[in-house]
Amino acid sequence: MADGKMLPGLNRRSVTTDVNLYPLPRVDATNKSDQDAILTLLPEYRGYPSFTTLINGLRQQIYALPREQLTHTTLSEKNWFHYAARTWDAVKKSQLMAEYNRLLH
């Protein structure tokens, strides 16, 4: 967040820890709509960017992260299906699923 340029006061000099935190304001159902804000000359002052602005900034930062490969080799559709089948077999044979199935019946 310190590199996201969303909040100008946060930068690498002011935030020395490596905490991966992105605080969001509480979503309030009574917030005024954008059309209500158009009726006034200045939008309502909150002291922080709007929820929508912060969510868009968070989304952009997540999309900008480098993607990690799922496997150490190239994953083809055939390999993916093989791994998915093995994973599903492991889930079906797990004790947790057996207990869950027993509780359902």
Out of 18-22, 42-46, 58-62, 91-95, the most confident range is 91-95
Q: How much is the pLDDT for 72? A: 81
Give yes or no for residue 22 having a pLDDT over 80.
no
Instruction: Note whether 56 and 85 are same-domain residues.
Output: no
Give yes or no for residue 42 having a pLDDT over 70.
no
Locus of tokens 């020395």: 16
Residue 49 lies in domain: 1-66
Whether residue 22 contacts residue 1, with contact meaning beta carbons closer than 8 Å, is answered with: yes
Q: How much is the pLDDT for 54? A: 84
State the pTM of this model.
Answer: 0.43
Instruction: Note whether 3 and 54 are same-domain residues.
Output: yes
Instruction: Note whether 19 and 42 are same-domain residues.
Output: yes
Instruction: Residue 1: name the closest of 48, 67, 68 by CA.
Output: 48
H or E stretch including 30?
A: none
Per the structure, the count of domains in the chain is 2
Whether residue 73 contacts residue 67, with contact meaning beta carbons closer than 8 Å, is answered with: no
DSSP-derived letter for residue 24 is -
Instruction: Note whether 78 and 53 are same-domain residues.
Output: no
DSSP-derived letter for residue 19 is -
